Amino acid sequence: MARVHLRRTSGRRALGAAALTVALLPTLLLVPSSPTTAAGGATRPAVIGHRVLGTTPQGRKIRAWHLGERGKKKVVLIAVMHGNEQAPRRILTDLRDGPPVHGLDLWVVPTYNPDGAAHHTRKNAHGIDLNRNYPYRWRNLDGAYESGPKPSSEPETRAMMRFLSRVRPAYILSFHQPLHAVDITERPKFSKRVARALGLPISRLTCGSTCHGTMTMWFNHRFKGFALTVEYAGSPPRKKLRAAPNKILKLFGASRG
């Protein structure tokens, strides 16, 4: 297994207050063939590899599954950033456990906050809202949106920053609940396409005075790609979730089977 090498640096490419950059090898934590076997011996023909992005405060692994075809358009799908928003995870696990994906270089992170998911809480095990812990426009927030003692203080945040800095996707869809809308604050044309594909309304999800240090803000400030927030309802219909994987693939000109 490849090692992660961290080195101190400075300048505009520094990641947050810790000023960390990552010298990432192409095979970083990549498991080539064994991930295609699921629990109980069932195969996962869609999986071409996976990475362990990092470990949570309670010792749980954050996993990213690689699907599709290398060399195609790169897309990352992320769910369960908040541990009490678990319904959209089914979209990502259905893609992971389904037929092979064609025409897209796809990564899925079904459970970004496994500690929060285990306890069914919004925050991680340190009581931090991961979607307020990123270094871009970070502020010291308290209460429901506790942002941590400093930017990028959380291992989950640093793990995702390393991963996205290495993969550099053209698009990220970050799935949440329960606002039932697709954000059109930036790149409204693309955002409306996503909303139509998934059968969701559109809205400007600005999150008011607490909109600081979010993952999408950080990514959109730092990279050429585009990260978009997609919010399902608190209890989305199962039929809608089952239909979403194929609709997402079609949105990006891909298919499976």
Query: What are the tens digits of pLDDT across the range 135-174?
Result: 999 999 999 999 999 999 999 999 999 999 999 999 999 9
pLDDT score, position 43: 83
Residues 3-25: pLDDT tens digits? 333 333 333 333 333 333 333 33
Q: What is the pTM of this model?
A: 0.86
The residue among 41 and 186 whose pLDDT is bigger is 186
Q: At what angle are helices 215-222 and 155-167 packed, to 10 degrees?
A: 30
Q: Tell me how far CA of residue 4 lies from CA of 13, 36, 114, 150, 163, in angstroms.
A: 18, 23, 21, 23, 11
User: How does the average pLDDT of the chain come out, rounded?
Assistant: 88
Higher-pLDDT residue of 11 and 77 is 77
State the pLDDT confidence band at 206, using cuts at 50, 70 and 90.
confident
Strands (E), 184-254: 202-203, 226-233
22-31, 76-85, 162-171, 234-243: which has the minimum mean pLDDT? Answer: 22-31
Q: Which two tokens stand for residue 156?
A: 């989950």
Per-residue pLDDT reduced to its tens digit, 171-194: 999 999 999 999 999 999 999 999
User: Which of the residue ranges 31-35, 112-116, 252-256 would you say has the lowest mean pLDDT?
Assistant: 31-35
- According to DSSP, residue 58 is labeled T
Instruction: Write down the pLDDT at residue 18.
Output: 37
**Model pLDDT, residue 37:** 55
Rg (CA), the chain: 17
Range from 63-72, 81-90, 188-197, 203-212 carrying the lowest mean pLDDT? 203-212
Contact by Cβ (8 Å): 76, 166: no
Q: In the predicted model, is pLDDT for residue 34 greater than 80?
A: no
Q: Which residues pair with 227 in a beta bridge?
A: 172
pLDDT of residue 42: 59
Over 90: is that where the pLDDT of 2 sits?
Answer: no
The closest alpha carbon to 20, from 9, 29, 30, 12, belongs to 9
Q: Write the CB contacts of 99 (distance below 8 Å, at least 6 apart in sequence).
A: 45, 46, 256, 257
CA distance 123 to 21: 25
pLDDT over 60 (residue 101): yes
Confidence of residue 99 (pLDDT cuts 50, 70, 90): very high
Q: Taking the alpha carbons of 65, 164, 214, 139 in that order, is the dihedral positive or negative?
A: positive
The 10 Å CB-count burial string (b at 16+, else e) for 215-242 is bbbbbbebbebbbbbbbbeeebeeebbe
Range 249-252, long-range pairs (CB < 8 A, 24+ positions): 249/95, 249/101, 249/103, 249/104, 250/197, 251/193, 251/194, 251/197, 252/73, 252/75, 252/103, 252/104, 252/171
* Euclidean distance between CA atoms 79 and 96, whole angstroms: 13
Per-residue pLDDT, 207: 82
Residues found in the chain: 257
